[in-house]
Amino acid sequence: MLEHVRLHPEVQEALANKTAVVALETAVLTHGLPYPANVETLQDMTQAVRSSGAIPAVIGLLHGEVVVGLAPSEWEEMLVDAEKCSIRDLAPAILRRKNGGTTVAATAYIAHHVGIDVFATGGIGGVHRGVVETWDVSADLYAMASCPIVVVSSGAKSILDLPKTMEFLESLGIPVIGYQTRDFPGFYVASTGLRLSGTVHDVQEVAGMVNTMRDLKLPQALLLVQPGPSPVDPDFVEHLVQEALEHARAQGISGKATTPFLLDYLNRRAGDQLQKANMALLKANAALAGKVAAALHG
């Protein structure tokens, strides 16, 4: 258990009783979606987790305090001057008493160390395009290599180099398993054409796989992927991604600012089509995560 972390009483009780809990990130709240869609989507995600038989635990930094189980009344409060916090950013943000939206890496780390074993997100970070020049590889991948939890997502974000991301996941020994799919999804895109090494058809199979990994004492996360319920034409997405990358280069955008810039650009250029697809897949992944958590603790 991590010290200096505030657990919501409901989450604390669930963990003590070894009942199902699902971690939810807050980078999607602070940097992933515009207001008020961000708050509405997080509300939908928490409801989806509950409807699936688990307790939602929204994780983030509020005035420098790591909170596991942020209450809805605190969500808008944490939007004020919020930073995007990966693992490397946690200690500085805590010392400066900042608000922070936790990324996949930071959320997975905190969740695992407080005893939560399932985490739902939209799309993980990965290997960025142009990595040969930039060496830009998301900390999400390294975090999943050392946090043995279930990460439920719609694959990796479409702005990434997805073939290299898959290779990196393989190199780190992270199993990527499709839930009722054999193809790796690309966030907005249902299929990237990249074949997965494994597929499961129900949450009991997922629970069996997780328990086997535990028996083997494997340190990696299980990345469980499913396509979003409102997929977007891949050619349309790729055209917008190329546009967004050109604008990012022209403006000198790099580092952790890259992903929020690119996603914001795509959302602005595509009207509400991509935003609606993003919101739908977040809710669907939360629902699946809740079912997986319930199966693990049933």
Residues serving a catalytic function are 25, 157
Q: Which of 223, 221, 232 is nearest to 281 (CA)?
A: 232
- Burial class, 223, CB count within 10 angstroms (exposed 0-12 / middle 13-18 / buried 19+): buried
Cβ neighbours of 204 (radius 10 Å): 14
Instruction: Check residue 30 and report its DSSP letter.
Output: I
Write the DSSP string, 246-275.
HHHHHTT--GGGHHHHHHHHHHHHTTTHHH
Token pair 């719609």 in the structure block, residue: 154
C-alpha–C-alpha distance, residues 111 and 23, integer Å? 6
